[in-house]
A and B are shown apart, each in its own frame.
Chain A
């Protein structure tokens, strides 16, 4: 019962696995960015806050794009 996926579905799963790995990496970067921004802000350097927010937004958009990609692969490879 384990090998119930067709070849096309297996390829879809591999693509999704790759996208998830990418998202995790981006998330780790975002976690570090948040902690570093907080630290610098609390230390008084307010100049880094704006670029950090912008970059965090970019990372989030990348995560969102990957999420939509996963949704698309999911829809194409699903049974029904």
Chain B
């Protein structure tokens, strides 16, 4: 939709999974939700986060696809894989820095969030943003987001790769780019550390 942007604020997520249910109601991918729902640290906290596809400006998934199945339209939305072309190789699953694409081996297809293209292309909000009670997923005008304390950013740094996305993430005001080190999020490290005798 023109003028509207998608904002993700994981700190607002209450773990109700309404977004997961709402996404699963879509006719295009009946019953399968495209929301990436994470429990941050299931052992230690009830904190959760829901993510949608970030619709990067230079989508890594599209660039690594060997079948040229992932396409980005002129409106900036990265579409889910094209059914005739996708071979189910999982290259995009491995390549996406955010871990968004989902592979379905039973029908050798990748599916991912496409910003509810059947809704947003005709002026409606995506399902997840519509139902999120805390507006952790929000599809609003920038003026409305400006009223929040956090500031939106759409620049991510993954090691050497700088990624600019269409979807914004709410971060503290001083942050200009979200830098992530993959090693910080590898569970083997923390598991190994936990199981060591103190």
CA distance A49 to B50 in the complex (A): 74
Would you call B79 and A5 a contact (CB within 8 A)? Answer: no
A47 within 8 A of B: no
A1 within 8 A of B: yes
B74 within 8 A of A: yes
Task: Encode contact with B along A1-23: 1 for CB under 8 Å, 0 otherwise.
Answer: 10011100000000000000000
Would you call A6 and B74 a contact (CB within 8 A)? Answer: yes
With a CB–CB cut-off of 8 A, which chain B residues contact A4?
73-75
CB closest chain-A residue, reference B58 = A80
CA distance A71 to B130 in the complex (A): 45
With a CB–CB cut-off of 8 A, which chain A residues contact B74?
4-6, 79
CA distance A46 to B126 in the complex (A): 75
What total of chain B residues lie within 8 Å of the partner, measured CB to CB?
Answer: 4
Task: Encode contact with B along A51-80: 1 for CB under 8 Å, 0 otherwise.
Answer: 000000000000000000000000000010
Size class of the contact patch on chain A: under 10
Task: Encode contact with A along B72-95: 1 for CB under 8 Å, 0 otherwise.
Answer: 011100010000000000000000
Report the minimum CB–CB distance from A65 to chain B (whole Å). 30
Q: Which of B65-116 contact A (CB under 8 A)?
A: 73-75, 79
Name the residue among B73, B74, B79 with the largest chain A CB count within 10 angstroms: B74
CA distance A4 to B78 in the complex (A): 13
CA distance A6 to B75 in the complex (A): 11
With a CB–CB cut-off of 8 A, which chain B residues contact A5?
74
CA distance A6 to B74 in the complex (A): 8
Q: Which of A24-41 contact B (CB under 8 A)?
A: none
CB closest chain-B residue, reference A9 = B74
Task: Encode contact with A along B105-135: 1 for CB under 8 Å, 0 otherwise.
Answer: 0000000000000000000000000000000
CA distance A19 to B148 in the complex (A): 55
CB closest chain-A residue, reference B79 = A1
What are the 8 tightest A-B residue pairs by CB atom distance, in nearest-first order?
A4-B73, A4-B74, A6-B74, A1-B73, A79-B74, A1-B79, A5-B74, A4-B75
A-B contact pairs, 8 of them (CB 8 A): A1-B73, A1-B79, A4-B73, A4-B74, A4-B75, A5-B74, A6-B74, A79-B74
Q: Which residues of A contact B (CB under 8 A)?
A: 1, 4-6, 79
Given A4-B73, A79-B74, 6 more pairs with CB closer than 8 A = A1-B73, A1-B79, A4-B74, A4-B75, A5-B74, A6-B74
